[in-house]
């Protein structure tokens, strides 16, 4: 039997939003398997989805660049240690220049990007980063980027508080529509344009959970597949751009697919970056640190 620690219970509670005792019981039943415990809790409690993906756990900003003709664009995530530095004008300018460097040079990866001359400055991206580290007193990193180019369509970018960055590749429609779509993505956070872009494992998980929940509630065996299919279709509407209800829909019902159809438009692809997504930030417990220091001093 795996040891179930307090930190494991705390992590599962943060991921699901459910009670401590429920989380501990689920971890015991699954022998400490975090993913299995999370799935078990969704089956038993009806929890809609994990909250972990929405947690922002590192500081920084998203920089963006869009060429004047709307044919080339880029978004880039640049991280720092504190929110104070994330609001610094020089840091924000660096992120913006990194995105422009990406757009104009099409580097293969972050290492290649760091060796390039930075846009609107002197020296390479790496040399500029090091100079900023010295100036601001914090470690700074360029984490990731995405670049789009189009010959037949248009690009649109949107930044929400510099913490969420979206770039959309679309055809038809106008600039205002492109911006609306980008804003919708930032608000609703779809996983893909349509069902073809959803991870098959995620679909299989939703189907499996639906079947187990139906069994738990006593539904007849003959109904299980139909119930599961309905759940999967609902899930796909929630996580695909085309299936989501447009955040600015006047009737509260119009989907993105319907909006695009009314404009004779389509979305080819989109990229969304959320600052710190997937990064666990160390939480400093200063009270505990001081207490430990005092205790050590007494022993000495």
In three-state secondary structure terms, 144 is: strand
Question: Is residue 74's pLDDT more than 80?
Answer: yes
State the pLDDT confidence band at 51, using cuts at 50, 70 and 90: very low
Neighbours of 288 (CB within 10 A): 9
Distance of CA 142 to the CA centre of its chain: 16
Q: Which two tokens stand for residue 72?
A: 């080339």
User: Looking at residues 154-160, what average pLDDT do you find?
Assistant: 96
Using an 8 Å Cβ cutoff, are 98 and 118 in contact? Answer: yes
pLDDT, residue 96, reads: 98
Using an 8 Å Cβ cutoff, are 118 and 128 in contact? Answer: yes
Buried b / exposed e across 213-230, counting CB within 10 Å, b at 16+? bbeeeeeeeeebeebbee
Intervals of CATH 3.30.479.20 along the chain: 59-170
Higher pLDDT, 58 or 64: 64
pLDDT, residue 113, reads: 98
Length of the chain: 300
Give the whole-angstrom CA distance, residue 24 versus residue 180: 43
264-276 pLDDT tens trace: 999 999 999 999 8
Intervals of CATH 1.10.8.10 along the chain: 1-55
Neighbours of 258 (CB within 10 A): 14
Closest CA to 119 of 128, 110, 111: 128
Higher pLDDT, 296 or 174: 174
Question: Is residue 54's pLDDT more than 60?
Answer: no
Sheet-wide strand order for 59-66: 59-66, 72-80, 141-149
171-197 pLDDT tens trace: 999 999 999 999 999 999 999 999 999
Higher pLDDT, 115 or 292: 115
Query: Topology of 1-55 in CATH?
Result: Helicase, Ruva Protein; domain 3 (1.10.8)
State the pLDDT confidence band at 22, using cuts at 50, 70 and 90: confident
Query: Topology of 59-170 in CATH?
Result: Tetrahydropterin Synthase; Chain A (3.30.479)
Q: Which two tokens stand for residue 133?
A: 């580290």
Give the whole-angstrom CA distance, residue 262 versus residue 62: 32
DSSP character string of 63-126: EEEE-TTSSEEEEEEEEES-HHHHT-HHHHHHHHHHHHHHHHH--SSHHHHHTSBPTTSSSBHH
């Amino acid at each position: 039997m795996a040891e179930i620690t307090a930190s494991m219970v705390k992590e599962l509670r943060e991921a699901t939003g459910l009670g401590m005792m429920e989380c501990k019981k689920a971890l015991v039943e699954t022998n400490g398997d975090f993913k299995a415990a999370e799935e078990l809790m969704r089956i038993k409690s009806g929890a809609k989805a994990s909250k972990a993906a929405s947690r922002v756990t590192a500081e920084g900003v998203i920089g963006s660049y869009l060429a004047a003709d709307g044919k080339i664009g880029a978004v880039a995530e640049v991280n720092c240690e504190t929110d104070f530095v994330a609001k610094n004008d020089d840091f924000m300018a660096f992120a913006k220049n990194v995105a422009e460097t990406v757009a104009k040079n099409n580097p293969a990866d972050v290492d290649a990007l760091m060796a390039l001359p930075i846009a609107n400055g002197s020296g390479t991206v790496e040399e500029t980063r090091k100079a900023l580290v010295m100036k601001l007193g914090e470690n700074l990193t360029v984490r990731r980027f995405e670049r789009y180019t189009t010959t037949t369509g248009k690009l649109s970018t949107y930044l929400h508080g510099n913490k969420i960055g979206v770039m959309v590749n679309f055809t038809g429609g106008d600039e205002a529509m492109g911006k609306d779509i980008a804003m919708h993505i930032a608000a609703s956070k779809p996983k893909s344009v349509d069902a073809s872009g959803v991870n098959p494992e995620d679909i299989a998980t939703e189907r499996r959970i639906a079947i187990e929940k139906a069994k738990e509630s006593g539904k007849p065996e003959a109904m299980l597949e139909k119930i599961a299919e309905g759940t999967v279709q609902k899930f796909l509407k929630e996580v695909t751009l085309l299936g989501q209800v447009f955040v600015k829909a006047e009737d509260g019902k119009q989907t993105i697919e319907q909006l695009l159809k009314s404009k004779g438009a389509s979305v080819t692809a989109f990229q969304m970056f959320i600052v710190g997504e997937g990064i666990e930030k160390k939480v400093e417990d200063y009270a505990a640190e001081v207490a430990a220091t005092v205790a050590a001093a007494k022993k000495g």
